[in-house]
C-alpha cells in the first residue's frame, strides 16, 4: 500500500514567526498506525494537514510512497481524512456522503452502491443509509465519517481527533473498534489525538510533539519506559510520573529526601561524569510502594479505583514539602492522615537541567 | 394527587403572569401599528366593495364584489398584472444571479476586499427615487445619458431607451439596486459554511466545479430562497421607480402604479383602486407566508 515520509517539513503560518511545525522528520512504514500526540497547540493538526495537502509545506518535503507530494493538491493525493467535527456533507444522505469520493472518481453507480453497502455493513450503518447527518447520533456520525474514508480504499488514512466528540464510554469502545478495523484493512494511518491514553492504546508507534517540535517516536512501551526527555516523561503515563528536582551531591548519587535512589549502572556511570547540580528525577507511581522502611510522609488523598489505588503522600525533601503519588493495591486500608513509609524499587529516570535523559 | 394538580395550576398561573409581563411593553407599538396599518387596510377592504368617485363627488354605494368581477375583464388591469409579474421575476432572478457571482468573488481573500465590498453595497443605500432619477437623466437620457454618449462615440444611432424598452429600463435599475442585497445574503451563506466540509470535499477529490454544484450550492439553497422571497415581497410593490422613470404607460405600469392612476393619480375611482390594492396585498401575503416558512427553516437548521 503506502509508506509516508516527512523530511524536514516545516509550516510557518503567515503572520507568525514561530513555526507551527518545525523540521519534522518522520518515517511511517506501510500499514502502520502512527499516533501523533501532544498538548493542544503543539502542531499535530498542522502536521496532519500538511500530509493531506490542506496546509502548505513552507520548508522540506512530504512523500507518499517515495513520491514527492509536497506540491500536489489534496484531491490528487489519494488520501482519506476523518475530521474532528466529522465534516459530513449536510445536504446529502449517509449513502451519498459515503459515495461522494467514488462519484468524483467516476465510479459507476452500481459499483458505488455496492462498495457503500459493504462499508455500511462493516460499520453497522445499513439502517441509516437514507438518513441525513443531522438525524444521526454523534456515534453514528462518527461512523459515517469513518465509512466515507474506508469506502475509498485510499493509500493513507488521516484522522484528526476523531473520537473527541464522543462520550467517555463510547470513546473507549470505538477506540478498540477503530484499531481493529485499521489492522484488518492494513492501511497506513496517521492518527492525531491529545489524549495520551488513546495514543498508547492505539498506536503501533507514537510520535510526541511539543511546540511544533518532534520529541520522540517509539513504540508505546519504549515511550513509557525510556522517555527521552522531561516533557515526554511528564506527558506519557496516567497518573503522571513523579518528577522531583534533586541536587546531586557528587559521588553520593541522588537522594529523595532521606531515601537513596537506586540508579541503574549506566545512569550512575553517566551521572558520575557530570558536575554536581540540579537534576530532575522521575519515578512512576508503580515504582514506589508503601513499605515498612523508607522515607516518611503523611497521606493527603487516597484515590481508590477498585483494582488499584493511588495514594498521595507529602514527604519532606530538601527542606520543603513534596507530594508523591504512590500506587497501592485496591481496597487499601490507608487513609488520609496516616503516617506511612515509602520505598523505591526503581527504575528511576534522571534528566539533566536541559531536560535530556541521562543514562540508557 | 390533588396537591399535584394544584401545583400544576399554580405553575400555569405564574407562566401566564410572566407572559403578560413580557408582552406589556409591546402593547403601545402594537396599538400604533394597528392604527396606521390595519385600520386603513380594513377601510380599503370596505371601499373595495363600493363604487366611490370623488371628482366629481358622488355618494358611495355598496356594490359587493362588483369591483373584483370587473377586474377580470379589465384589459389594463391584466396588462398591469403581467407587467408586475415580469418586472418582479426578472429583477429578482437577475439580481440574485449577479449577487451570487459577486458574493463568490468576495468570498475569497484579496487586497482591498473591504473597500470593494463597501463599493458594491452602495447602490443599495441610495433612495429609490434618487436612483430612478439618476438612471433616467444620466444613463438612459437620449441627449445627456452615458449610454447614448457611448453609442454616439461608436457611431451608432442614439436610442431613447426608456421609450423603446420601458420594462427593461426599469428592471435594469431594480437589478442595479437589488444586486447588493442579494450579494449580502448569499455572502452570509457562503461564509456560514463549515470550512472543514469544503476541505473534506477537496480531500475526497472534488473539482472546484463539483465542489460548488454538489456541496456549496445545496447548502446555499435556503439563503437563495430567502433572497428570492424577500426580493419578491418588496419588488411586487415597486411604485417610485415606475413613477420617476417612465411615469407609467404600456409595459411599465405595474399594479401598484395602476392603483395610483385609478385613484389619486387622476382616475379618482377609489372603490376600484382599493380592489386592485387588495389583490396586491393578497399576493404579498401569499409570498410572505412562504418567506416566513423559509426563514424559520433557516433558523431551525442552525440549531445543532
Ligand atoms: N490558520 C492558522 N493561522 C495561524 N496560526 C495557526 C493556524 N492554525 C494553527 N495555528 C497555530 O499553530 C499552532 C499549532 O496548531 P495546531 O496544529 O492546530 O495544534 P494542535 O492540533 O496540536 O492543537 C498553534 O499555536 C496555533 O495557534
Ligand atoms: Mg488540532
- Domains delineated in chain A: 4-234 (3.40.50.300), 239-358 (2.40.50.140)
Q: What is the pLDDT of residue B299?
A: 67
Query: What is the nearest CA distance from B182 to chain A, expressed in angstroms?
Result: 22
In this structure, how many other beta carbons lie within 10 angstroms of the beta carbon of residue A166?
18
Distance CA(A339)–CA(A297), nearest Å, equals 6
* DSSP secondary structure string for all residues of A231-300: HHHHHSSSSPPEEEEEE--GGG--EETTEEP---HHHHHHHHTSPS-EEEEEE-GGGEEEESSSEEEEEE
pLDDT in tens, B19-63: 888 889 999 999 999 999 899 999 999 999 988 888 778 888 888
Worst-scoring range by mean pLDDT, A7-21, A225-239, B97-111, B278-292? B278-292
Distance CA(A49)–CA(A28), nearest Å, equals 16
Residue A176 pLDDT > 50: yes
Q: What is the pLDDT of residue B304?
A: 38
Interface of B with A (CB under 8 A): 194, 196-197, 199-207, 210, 214-215, 218-219, 221
Distance CA(B160)–CA(B246), nearest Å, equals 12
Query: Across the interface, which of B203, B210, B214 has its CB nearest the CB of A74?
Result: B203
Mutation site, A83, A92, A99, A137, interface B, largest B CB count within 10 A:
A83
Residue B1 pLDDT > 60: no
Hey, are the CB atoms on B214 and A100 less than 8 Å from each other? Answer: yes
B71-302: CATH, from 1.10.3720.10, 1.10.10.10, 3.40.50.720, 3.30.70.1140: 1.10.3720.10
Mean pLDDT throughout B133-162?
86
Which residue matches cell numbers 548519587? A253
Residue of chain A with shortest Cα separation from B195: A87
Q: What is the pLDDT of residue A251?
A: 56
Q: What is the pLDDT of residue B160?
A: 84
| A90 in contact with B, Cβ within 8 Å | yes
Hey, are the CB atoms on A79 and B210 less than 8 Å from each other? Answer: no
Residue of chain B with shortest Cα separation from A72: B203
What number of CA atoms fall less than 13 Å from residue B18's CA on the CB side? Answer: 6
Hey, are the CB atoms on B196 and A73 less than 8 Å from each other? Answer: no
Ligand 1 atom nearest to CA at A21: 14
Residue B303 pLDDT > 60: no
Q: Which residues pair with A205 in a beta bridge?
A: A34
Ligand 1, atom 18, residue with closest C-alpha:
A45
Annotated domain spans of chain B: 71-302
Q: What is the pLDDT of residue B2?
A: 61
Residue numbers in B near A152 (CB within 8 A): 204
Ligand 1, atom 2, residue with closest C-alpha:
A13
Query: Across the interface, which of A54, A87, A104 has its CB nearest the CB of B205?
Result: A104
Residue numbers in B near A90 (CB within 8 A): 194, 197, 219
* Cα A213 to ligand 1 centre (Å): 13
Q: Which listed ligand is nearest to A50 at the C-alpha?
A: 1
pLDDT in tens, A21-51: 999 999 999 999 999 999 999 999 999 999 9
Mean pLDDT throughout A69-91?
93
Hey, are the CB atoms on B196 and A148 less than 8 Å from each other? Answer: no
Mean pLDDT throughout B77-106?
92
Strands A79-82 and A156-160: parallel
Q: What is the pLDDT of residue B3?
A: 67
How high is the ipTM of this complex?
0.86
Residue numbers in A near B201 (CB within 8 A): 89, 100
CB pairs under 8 A between A and B: 66
Nearest to A339 by CA among A305, A300, A310, A303: A300
Query: What is the nearest CA distance from B197 to chain A, expressed in angstroms?
Result: 5
Hey, are the CB atoms on A80 and B205 less than 8 Å from each other? Answer: no
pLDDT in tens, B159-216: 888 888 999 999 999 999 999 999 999 999 999 999 999 999 999 999 999 999 999 9
pLDDT in tens, B53-87: 887 788 888 888 888 888 888 888 889 988 998 99
pLDDT in tens, A100-151: 999 999 999 999 999 999 999 999 999 999 999 999 999 999 999 999 999 9
Q: What is the pLDDT of residue A112?
A: 94
**B261 versus A1: which is more confidently predicted?**
B261
pLDDT in tens, A281-338: 999 999 999 988 889 999 999 999 989 999 999 999 888 899 999 999 888 888 899 9
Secondary structure class of A344 (helix, strand, coil): strand
Amino acid at each position: 500500500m503506502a509508506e509516508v515520509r516527512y523530511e524536514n517539513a516545516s509550516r510557518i503560518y503567515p503572520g507568525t514567526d514561530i513555526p507551527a511545525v518545525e523540521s519534522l522528520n518522520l518515517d511511517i512504514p506501510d500499514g502502520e498506525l502512527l499516533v501523533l500526540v501532544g498538548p493542544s497547540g503543539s502542531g499535530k493538526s498542522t502536521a496532519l494537514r500538511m500530509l493531506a495537502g490542506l496546509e502548505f509545506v513552507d520548508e522540506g518535503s512530504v512523500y507518499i510512497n517515495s513520491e514527492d507530494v509536497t506540491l500536489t493538491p489534496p484531491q490528487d493525493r489519494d488520501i482519506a481524512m476523518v475530521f474532528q467535527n466529522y465534516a459530513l456533507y449536510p445536504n446529502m444522505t449517509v449513502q451519498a456522503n459515503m459515495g461522494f469520493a467514488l462519484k468524483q472518481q467516476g465510479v459507476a453507480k452500481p459499483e458505488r452502491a455496492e462498495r457503500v453497502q459493504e462499508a455500511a455493513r462493516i460499520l453497522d450503518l445499513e439502517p441509516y443509509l437514507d438518513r441525513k447527518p443531522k438525524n444521526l447520533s454523534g456515534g453514528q456520525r462518527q461512523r459515517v465519517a469513518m465509512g466515507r474514508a474506508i469506502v475509498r480504499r485510499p493509500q493513507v488514512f488521516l484522522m484528526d481527533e476523531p473520537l473527541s466528540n464522543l462520550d467517555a464510554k463510547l470513546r473507549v469502545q470505538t477506540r478498540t473498534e477503530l484499531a481493529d478495523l485499521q489492522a484488518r484493512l492494513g492501511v497506513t494511518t496517521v492518527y492525531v489525538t491529545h489524549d495520551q491514553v488513546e495514543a498508547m492504546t492505539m498506536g503501533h508507534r507514537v510520535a510526541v510533539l511539543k511546540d511544533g517540535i518532534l520529541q520522540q517516536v517509539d513504540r508505546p512501551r519504549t515511550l513509557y519506559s525510556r522517555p527521552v526527555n522531561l516533557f515526554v516523561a511528564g506527558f506519557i503515563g496516567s497518573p503522571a510520573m513523579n518528577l522531583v528536582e534533586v541536587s546531586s551531591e557528587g559521588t553520593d548519587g541522588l537522594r529523595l529526601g532521606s531515601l537513596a535512589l537506586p540508579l541503574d549502572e549506566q545512569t550512575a556511570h553517566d551521572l558520575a561524569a557530570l558536575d554536581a547540580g540540579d537534576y530532575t528525577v522521575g519515578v512512576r507511581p508503580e515504582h514506589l510502594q508503601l513499605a515498612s522502611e523508607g522515607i516518611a510522609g503523611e497521606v493527603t488523598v487516597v484515590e481508590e479505583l477498585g483494582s488499584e489505588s493511588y495514594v498521595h503522600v507529602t514527604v519532606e525533601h530538601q527542606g520543603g514539602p513534596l507530594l508523591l503519588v504512590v500506587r497501592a493495591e485496591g481496597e487499601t486500608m490507608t487513609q488520609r492522615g496516616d503516617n506511612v513509609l515509602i520505598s523505591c524499587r526503581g527504575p528511576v529516570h534522571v534528566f539533566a537541567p536541559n531536560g535530556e535523559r541521562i543514562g540508557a | 394527587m390533588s396537591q399535584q394538580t394544584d401545583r400544576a395550576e399554580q405553575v400555569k398561573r405564574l407562566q401566564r403572569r410572566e407572559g403578560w409581563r413580557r408582552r406589556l411593553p409591546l402593547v403601545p407599538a402594537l396599538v400604533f401599528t394597528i392604527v396606521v396599518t390595519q385600520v386603513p387596510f380594513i377601510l380599503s377592504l370596505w371601499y373595495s366593495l363600493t363604487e366611490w368617485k370623488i371628482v366629481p363627488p358622488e355618494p358611495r354605494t355598496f356594490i359587493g364584489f362588483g369591483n373584483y368581477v370587473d377586474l377580470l375583464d379589465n384589459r389594463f388591469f391584466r396588462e398591469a398584472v403581467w407587467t408586475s409579474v415580469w418586472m418582479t421575476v426578472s429583477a429578482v432572478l437577475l439580481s440574485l444571479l449577479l449577487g451570487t457571482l459577486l458574493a463568490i468573488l468576495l468570498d475569497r481573500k484579496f487586497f482591498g476586499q473591504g473597500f470593494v465590498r463597501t463599493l458594491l453595497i452602495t447602490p443599495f443605500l441610495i433612495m429609490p427615487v434618487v436612483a430612478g432619477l439618476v438612471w433616467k437623466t444620466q444613463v438612459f437620457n437620449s441627449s445627456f445619458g452615458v449610454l447614448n454618449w457611448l453609442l454616439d462615440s461608436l457611431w451608432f444611432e442614439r436610442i431613447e431607451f426608456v421609450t423603446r424598452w420601458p420594462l427593461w429600463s426599469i428592471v435594469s435599475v431594480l437589478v442595479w439596486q437589488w444586486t447588493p442585497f442579494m450579494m449580502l445574503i448569499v455572502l452570509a451563506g457562503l461564509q456560514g459554511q463549515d470550512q472543514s466540509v469544503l476541505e473534506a470535499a477537496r480531500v475526497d477529490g472534488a473539482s472546484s466545479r463539483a465542489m460548488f454544484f454538489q456541496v456549496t450550492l445545496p447548502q446555499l439553497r435556503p439563503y437563495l430562497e430567502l433572497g428570492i422571497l424577500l426580493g419578491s415581497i418588496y419588488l411586487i410593490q415597486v411604485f417610485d421607480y415606475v413613477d420617476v422613470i417612465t411615469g407609467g404607460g404600456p409595459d411599465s405600469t405595474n399594479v401598484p402604479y395602476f392603483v395610483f392612476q385609478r385613484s389619486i393619480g387622476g382616475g379618482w375611482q377609489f372603490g376600484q383602486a382599493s380592489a386592485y390594492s387588495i389583490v396586491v396585498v393578497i399576493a404579498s401575503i401569499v409570498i410572505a407566508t412562504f418567506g416566513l416558512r423559509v426563514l424559520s427553516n433557516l433558523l431551525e437548521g442552525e440549531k445543532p
